[in-house]
Every structure is written in C-alpha cells, then in structure tokens.
Structure 1
C-alpha cells in the first residue's frame, strides 16, 4: 500500500538526513570530508546498546550515552588527527586519508571487543504497538525517528541562521583566518562542530540500530556511502540539502523495494541520484564554482 510505504520511507529518510547533517556540518565548517563518520555512527549504536544491556539504563538515557560517547569520539578525532593537520595546512586529501585510517582502527577495535556477529537491542525496549491511521500502521520507533529528526533539523537550522554561534560558524565557513581576525574563537568552534556532528552521527546510529534490529561493526560503511551521496545530492556543506537529500534517498530506496524489487534497491536509488546530478552537478542547493585559468 502506497501510504504505508511513504511512512516507511519517511522514517528511513529521516535517519539518512540526520546522519548527513553531521557529515555536511563538518565539511561546511572544517572543510573536511570526514570518512570516519560511519565508524562514529556505529560506535554510538554499540555504546547505547551496552548502556541498555549492562547498565540497565532506560532507552532515553542510553540514547544520551550513545550521543555523548560519539561526540567525545568526534572530539578525540579532531584533537588528535584533524587539528595537527590544520596547523600544517595539509591538502584536503590528507585529512580524508587520515580519517579512513581512523575508521579502520575503530571498526577493528569494536570487532575485536564485541565480535563480528549481529546483535540487537533487547525485545520490548520500545513498545511494539502500532498507531493505526486508516490502513497505515506507524510503529513507536518510526514515530521516535521522525519526531527526533524533524526537531533536531529545525533546531540546527535555527541555530545556524538566528544565533550568534550560527553567524560565527558561517563566518568560519567563509574564511577561518578572517573570522579569527574578528575575534571569533575558531579552534573552539571547530571542536564544538566536531562534537555536535559526531553526536548527530551517534544518534543516527542508535536509531538505525533500533529500527533495523541489527548492530554490527561494519554497519557504518553502507551508511557512509549513502551519507556521501546525500551531501553531494543536496550540495556540499548545505544543511537544507542534507535534509532533502536524505529524505530523497529514503523514499527512493523504499519505493524501489516495494515496486521494483529488493535486489534493485541501491541501483534505482543511486541511478536517480546520478540523473539529478547530470542536470544539476553542484547539487540541489550547491553553488557553482568557476574555475579561472
């Protein structure tokens, strides 16, 4: 039924958008494509799961643990890897390669600690009852994903557009050196951005772990590929583009499974993305950069 598929697509697209928000925030402010974001996504899911199973915390507290630990991981990555490279004015390719190494190290460490098998959150942690609107069934986890994602997307847009911190971040995105001359604490906001972006990634990890009932060490890898696709589709560094691109990919995947076939899920979704980029190479909200001779 189309209405049911649209609800499923909205929930999945919201997770993609939430993941891509953190991804594009780092690129927009730090100018880095952080390829360890998928590992941070996975780390948040594992830590929330451990908080539930070992510490017996309620779900809301476990989600906070997952977000906080993912945010701290983002701070550590920035402090130990990205910050030294910024001070050396390293080319853009170097941080990308460095974060690939970080992702491999984190994935290997988690696999060594928890094993390679799929694990899941305990049954009953989220009510299994569904709200029925006509013939549409909306589960508690879908409501949680949609409500959380929409609230955080709106909040992030307000912070970036209406607050002093948002104006400072936009100034840094234009020119860190000029922002520093204006008295803006550039390094402090770099750290804040790294924490916030990683926390968003960790939250997306917890939500997708609950939604799919599968937590495993390499779960961040396909999400990373989709996150890259989303921010390219939406426009590199654009928050609106990350939100709309995530929703587009979610709808494309779910509807292709429903009406084309599960084996064609990624082919249809990425094929549509490719066609859109043929028409608009800079993405939906990206700017065209002129190359001067």
Structure 2
C-alpha cells in the first residue's frame, strides 16, 4: 500500500515532534495562532508587541493547545517585510516561549533563512504556506529534526492575488501536494516529517474552498497528516454573511467537519473553544474516553 506517489504508507501515524508524541491515527492536534505582525488577517496587530505575543502563546498552551504557530509576515499582499525584520519579530518570541513552555513551536514562514534561525532558536515545525517557493526551504528542514508543512498556494508570497481558476480544484491541489512531497523527499526531508495542508482560501475563492473541504478525504489519502487552517477565513464569512469577529461558530463547524473527513491538525484562533470542540469530536469518533462518566452509572 502506498500514498499515491509510490512511497509506502507508514504502518503507524505516530509522529515525534518537538519532544512530544502524536498518534495521528487517534489524535488531533490544536495549533494556536500567534502573530507578531501589525497587519495580520484576524487579530490586526493585537499580539504585535513581544510581551503580548508571549502572553498569548503561553495562555494558548495553558488552555490546551498542542502547538503554537507564530508568524512575522502575513500571507496576503502588503508592505515588504525584510528578512531582518521577520527575524526580529519571530526569534525573540520563539526563545521566550521555549524558555517557559514545552509546547510545540511552529513558525509560519516562507523564507529558508528565517526557517534555519527559527529551528536553531527552538522551533520544531516549519509551516511553509508558500509550498516551497524558496528553493532552499526543504534542504534547510532536511538538515534539522523539524517537521515541514507543505501547503497548496499559488504565486509569489506577498504578491498581488490573481483571480484563481481550476478545472478540478481538489484534483489540482492533490497533484500539487504530491509534487511538493517529491521535492521535499529529494531534498532529504524524511517522509515521516511531512504534513500537508490544502490551503483553505489561499488562492481560492469560497466555492473552491467549500468544494475542497467536501472532498478533504482525497487530500488525506495522500498519506502524511493533514492540517486544516480554517479559522475565521473568508469562506466562512461569505457563507454565513459574518464579519471576521463573528465567525467562531462557523470556524468550529468547519474544523469539526475537517476532522471527521480526516484532518489531524487544526489551526485555530480561539483556543479554549477549539480545544473543547476538538476533544469532544475525538470522543465521538472513539479516540478519547470521557474525562469522567457518572450519568446513569451510579446508584
């Protein structure tokens, strides 16, 4: 049995990441979002200050987040952020989190130089939302013990978006991710250190994202654990006619749907709500026992 690219599927979905063990056959990791940017999509700079970002990251870990994903550059178009500025935003935050928590630290970056320094500072995951736009990214990760998230997106990072067109969005996303897996493997990244992300809303309109979500099991079938980054995205806002600040219910519904379809990492803003929804979903799927059980069992 193989993943569709000719590579054997692991007999186990157990992964060792950042000193923690995750059995993605029976476990879902909650990835909290903490951005050190003044113009981030959702929080609009509320965690741009270092102390605010550290506080948010530690609070997320305390609330049950398994991973904390930090970023110094938003995905979308905007002012140029130099490598030096991105490093100044993320490295002190990585070091501060690592000094005070054993939570898995992920860094959302498309730059190989930032990835290298982030791993040295204590990051265990590189979340590359550009799908290896930087030709050195895979080799940087291969020289470390870090996990690499391969995401479907089109075009140069921070570039002006084009109106996306697809013949079959799911087929094209799957083909793209399989090709990026091959590229990462060729660079020396072990298969068991790869994660795939279909890129909800990244260079996709709402119809594309809804279709991709309905068929998420086709992405899951590629083989590596699937990450679903759905939190507060525009496909939710446009579907429900909700502004960014009022998308929690839609976000939780989308995350649970993706988990049922096979996603095993969900990237979320509201950590307490996400943890509750994810743990409840795990129990309903038979992955996790109740914390306690007394109802109709006593007397």
What band does the TM-score fall into relative to the shorter chain?
under 0.3
TM-score (norm 1): 0.28
TM-score (norm 2): 0.27
Determine which structure has the larger strand proportion and give its number. Answer: 2
The structure whose RCO (Cα within 8 Å, separation 6+) is larger is: 1
Determine which structure has the larger helix proportion and give its number. Answer: 1
